[in-house]
Amino acid sequence: MSRERARAFAPASIGNVAVGFDILGLAIEGAGDSVSVTRSETPGVRILAIRGSDHALPLDAENNTAGKALLAMIDVLGLDYGFDVEIDKGIAFGSGMGGSAASAVAALVAANALLDKPLRAEGLYPFALEGEAVASGGKHGDNVAPMLLGGLVLAVGEDPPIRLNTPPGLCSVLVHPHCVLETRRARAALATPYSLSEFVAQSGHLARFLVACQRGDIDLLRRCLRDDLVEPRRAALVPGFQEVKAAALTSGALGASISGAGPSVFAWCLSTAHAQVVAQAMQAAFAENGLDSDSFVSSLDAPGARLLD
Ligand code: HSE
């Protein structure tokens, strides 16, 4: 038999990346969840502990993102054994940094190491989507895909995710204000229909963004890294959003928008040194709105989930 216990880490991520609602995501460095999984003769999944969260998260496997992802793995692979799971949260609840997805991805990467025939990272994606759906109500891969593969990833529904090239040297900044915005609430703000012209405009941003990344065209990136579709409806849910975005752009960021469902805000910058300046300006703007915050600066090719031991 293969090993009996494994522990894995999955990084936080920036969902949507302004131009790709539900289909584009970017892994970041400096924050993530760790999950220990033990192979058990007893079928099913048991969540034995969740540490590091000040929000009560479900311990029953069906309603827990890590538990649901592992149940999907057991079901599809026809495993005749089960898993015991311990989760160490490093990503705050309702932060817009993909916390629910990270637990699912870390659990899958750990459990994968316990399989008799481990899968490639892409093979875990359908199970991760099942876990994500428990938390947000939708099977969108914009968090789980970059967490699995690292870097910037296009993830359209259940199709295999595609890692994208990014211009060398660019960095992301993610600023997490200390407040909670539940994904379900942020999604409810999008319930009313969009016009065809709004859809066309945002399609143009996404198309140019993909070309800009492929060509390494910074000027084009500066013109198209924007969200005219979802951000206007969610901005009011993020305290100080307009000031924080303005601070990023005034400091020379290529673009800035809400990270995932919020309330975190991200920006893309020209270098690590530039990103540090932008992060400081964004944090100062949150502070003026009465919010403490943390910031994370990463290269655009941050690594994905990995085994810890
Ligand atoms: N893409 C989803 C949203 C989840 O914006 O609602 C983000 O993590």
Q: Which helix (H) or strand (E) holds 220?
A: helix 218-224
Number of domains within the chain: 2
pLDDT at 264: 98
Cα–chain center distance at 240: 22
| 75/222 Cα distance (integer angstroms) | 45
Angle at 89 between CA 166 and CA 145, to 5 degrees: 30
Range of the domain at 188: 171-299
C-beta of residue 212 within 8 angstroms of C-beta of residue 6? no
| 26/18 Cα distance (integer angstroms) | 11
DSSP of 62-75: GGSHHHHHHHHHHH
196: domain CATH number is: 3.30.70.890
Q: pLDDT band for 142, please (50, 70, 90 cuts).
A: very high
| 84/55 Cα distance (integer angstroms) | 21
Task: Look at residues 204, 201, 193 and name the one whose alpha carbon lies nearest to residue 233.
Answer: 193
| 3/9 Cα distance (integer angstroms) | 18
| 60/32 Cα distance (integer angstroms) | 22
Q: Are residues 58 and 189 in the same domain?
A: no
Q: Is residue 39 part of a domain?
A: yes
Rounded to an integer, the average pLDDT of 168-194 is 95
Q: Is residue 206 part of a domain?
A: yes
Ligand 1 pocket by C-beta < 6 Å: which residues? Answer: 15-16, 21-22, 98, 136, 140, 142-143, 183, 186-187, 260-261
Q: Are residues 146 and 221 in the same domain?
A: no
Six token digits for residue 63 = 């309603």
pLDDT of residue 1 exceeding 60, the answer is no
Q: Are residues 141 and 71 in the same domain?
A: yes
pLDDT at 138: 82
Q: pLDDT band for 54, please (50, 70, 90 cuts).
A: confident
Which of 112, 128, 163 corresponds to the end of one domain? Answer: 163
Q: How far is the CA of 142 from the centre of ligand 1 (A)?
A: 7
Rounded to an integer, the average pLDDT of 59-73 is 97
Q: Are residues 10 and 158 in the same domain?
A: yes
13: domain CATH number is: 3.30.230.10
Ligand 1 atom at minimum distance from 143 CA = 8
pLDDT of residue 309 exceeding 80, the answer is no
